[in-house]
Amino acid sequence: MYSIFKCARPRTSLPSFKTHYSFAIPRATRSITVASKDSFQEVDSRFANRMGDSRPVFFFDIDNCLYSRSNNVHDHMTDLIDAYFMKHLELSREDAYNLHQEYYKTYGLAIEGLVRHHKIDALEYNRQVDDAVPLETILSPDPKLRKLLEDIDRSKVKLWLFTNAYVTHGKRVVRLLGVEDMFEGMTYCDYAQEKMIPKPYKESFEKAMSEAGVKEYKDCYFVDDSLINCEAAHKLGWTAAHLVEEGVKSPAKPVASFQISTLEELRKMKNNRYFVTSQVFQAISELLRYKRPTILPSLITPRDIHCIHIPRRQPSVPSTRGTSDSK
């Protein structure tokens, strides 16, 4: 497959060479919701289908993935969930915690168990739990995350959010992190539906594929901190990266194609074709120092810089000044 490294203007510039860049980053297609500069907007999926976008899709989980677990958003949410169980099911703190964990392990989402067995209003639950987490005092714009996402060549891969949270929580997180405009859409768990379909159910992954406009499992890439979600994605044929931060217990046996401790490690994954790397920058700069562009440094191959055209130096015309036979 051709390289999908994004090529950037090298810092080293020589007057004898010109570097030309040509990028076409298609708009979001075949989607239900897409990201604009300011917010997610509804689009006509029938119109999007006619655009013929065949890019693979890189799906990103949101919570404890786009931001670190050390932010303790998970702890805030756990406390609110337990409090909800205690109040509405009249349970002790210990029983509330145990039932919460049982529903999470069984259904992938505590709210799924509440709706199934206790007829809880899911949207009211969302208001009292997810939307009640004080994210504004916890999260802030993350330049490092934004740079990582900017380094993905979106002319060759589509970025898509894939979360078990409701849409209001997902949008709030990416807005506070300052990366809302980096994604072309979001697949979320619709709490308004009678039957919720969260990860790790197969139907959830197929819903994400349909909304993102991708047909083949092999064209789906995925990063998530949840073991059961990554395991399910891997079994379907997605290329999954299981995010296990330092301090979090690793699974006894890998459950996905890759295991990483930070999102930055996505750059180093074997056969990764998505990111600009320091090696590519260095190699391009070195390439420009050669008089003959056909001589390539060993760091990269011609396909890694397919989008750069470096014309050969034009032969100089000898000057005739001072060489005429003047009498």
Task: Give how many domains the chain has, as a whole number.
Answer: 2
Q: What is the pLDDT along the chain (327 residues), one digit of tens a residue?
A: 333 336 544 443 333 333 333 333 333 323 334 444 445 544 444 334 435 789 999 999 999 999 999 999 999 999 999 999 999 999 999 999 999 999 998 888 899 999 999 999 999 999 999 999 999 999 999 999 999 999 999 999 999 999 999 999 999 999 999 999 999 999 999 999 988 999 999 999 999 999 999 999 999 999 999 999 999 999 999 999 999 999 999 999 999 999 999 999 998 876 566 665 444 444 434 444 443 433 333 334 444 444 444 444 455 555 555 444 444
> Does residue 168 share a domain with residue 211?
yes
State which of 224, 248, 268 marks the end of a domain. Answer: 268
Q: Is residue 127 part of a domain?
A: yes
> Does residue 197 share a domain with residue 110?
no
The Cα angle at residue 60 between residues 59 and 65, in degrees rounded to 5? 160
State which of 116, 137, 158 marks the end of a domain. Answer: 137
Q: Is residue 170 part of a domain?
A: yes
> Does residue 262 share a domain with residue 177?
yes
Partners of 60 in the β-ladder: 161, 223
Q: If we measure between CA atoms, which residue out of 279, 238, 241 comes closest to residue 263?
A: 241
State which of 121, 137, 153 marks the end of a domain. Answer: 137
CA distance 80 to 4: 43
> Does residue 176 share a domain with residue 101?
no
Q: Is residue 145 part of a domain?
A: yes
Q: What number of CA atoms fall less than 13 Å from residue 308's CA on the CB side?
A: 28
> Does residue 61 share a domain with residue 191?
yes
- By residue range, what is the domain housing residue 133? 73-137
> Does residue 199 share a domain with residue 57?
yes
> Does residue 173 share a domain with residue 57?
yes
Q: 200 preceded by cis ω (within 30°)? A: yes
> Does residue 238 share a domain with residue 213?
yes
